[in-house]
Structure 1
Amino acid sequence: MSNTENFEYEYVYHIYSHANGRDLIFREEENYKYFLDKLVKYIVPIAEIYAYCLMPNHFHLLVRFKSEDQIPNEDEHKYLMKQFSNLLNGYAKAYNKRYNRKGSLFLDYLKRKRVNDSEYLIKLFHYIHNNPVNHGFVEDIKDWKYSSYHSYINLAKESKIERTEMMQYFDTVNDFIEYHQSNVEYDFLTIK
Structure 2
Amino acid sequence: MAVAGVAPSASATPPSGESDDPLRVAVIIGSTREGRMGDAVGQWFMERARGRGEMDLVVLDLADFDFPARHPGRATDQMTEFTGAIDRAEAFVVVTPEYNRSFPASLKQAIDFAYGEWQTKPVAFVSYGHDSAGLYAVEHLRSVFTELHTVPLRNGVALDVLHQPLEDRAGDCRRDRAAGVMLDQLLWWGLALREARAARPYVS
Normalising TM by the smaller chain, what interval?
A: under 0.3
| Higher RCO (CA < 8 A, seq sep 6+) | 1
Could you state the TM-score of these two structures normalised by the residue count of structure 2?
0.25
Could you state the TM-score of these two structures normalised by the residue count of structure 1?
0.26
